[in-house]
Amino acid sequence: MRKCALVTGASRGLGKAIALNLSKDLGLHILINFASNEAAALETKNLIEVQGGSAELMPFKVEEGAQVEKIIEEWLTNNKDSKIEVLVNNAGITRDNLMVFMEESQFDDVVNVSLKGMYNVTRHLLKHMVRNRYGRIINMASLSGLKGVPGQVNYSAAKGGMIAATKSLAQEIAKRNITVNAIAPGFITSDMTQDLDEEMLKKLVPMNRFGKAEEVADLVSFIASSKASYITGEVININGGIHG
């Protein structure tokens, strides 16, 4: 039986690093989800294969529930010799603006991708995991969802909702040997932080630096492994010492 991991938003940034690590560390076949950037997704696939792993592309928009259901159900039907044991809900976007200037579309887009997207993908994999009596669901939250960040009311709402959903779902399915945890990165060097003033912001971090995508990916690999089998319903911070 082939063991697989589905990583949403895996074509670049944190998702790419997570996909590479889950292949290398746990030997999982990686389903690389992406919305539109096929070239970047193919690069992730090639890097996984270069390091001796296996992967395939699974394009869909996480916010489109019918599309998510169709793609996942078709894959499960066509791959009965495979189990999706790990799901990393990583897909997310930012549309930063002060609340007083924030358009409704900026709020809806961010919440629909991060929060509704998590619901859509998780919902359609849960029966599969429950039937197999095993699963690791890892929701990529954010420091923004814990303490709030000015200019990110939409993003904070989405990630805060993800954190609350993580705690509830963990209790629903713990008896089925399925863990659900959230990881909350702080400032991590990636395409989502490329427009930030790193020199200024790193002064807010006790370690005086931004984190690396690979450091977050290492944490994901641990939470996805059998070593973390008694950890569920947790929000694990990885932020260089930022608190409050």
Catalytic residues: 155
Tokens (6 digits) for 5: 């991991």
Beta strands in the chain (DSSP E): 2-7, 29-34, 55-59, 82-89, 135-140, 178-185, 235-238
What sign for the dihedral angle of Cα 237, 239, 240, 242? negative
- Our separate counts of H helices and E strands in the chain read 9, 7
Residues in the chain: 244
Q: What interhelical angle do 153-173 and 104-111 show, nearest 10?
A: 30
Burial degree of 47 (CB within 10 A; 0-12, 13-18, 19+): middle
Q: Where are any strands of DSSP class E within 36-177?
A: 55-59, 82-89, 135-140
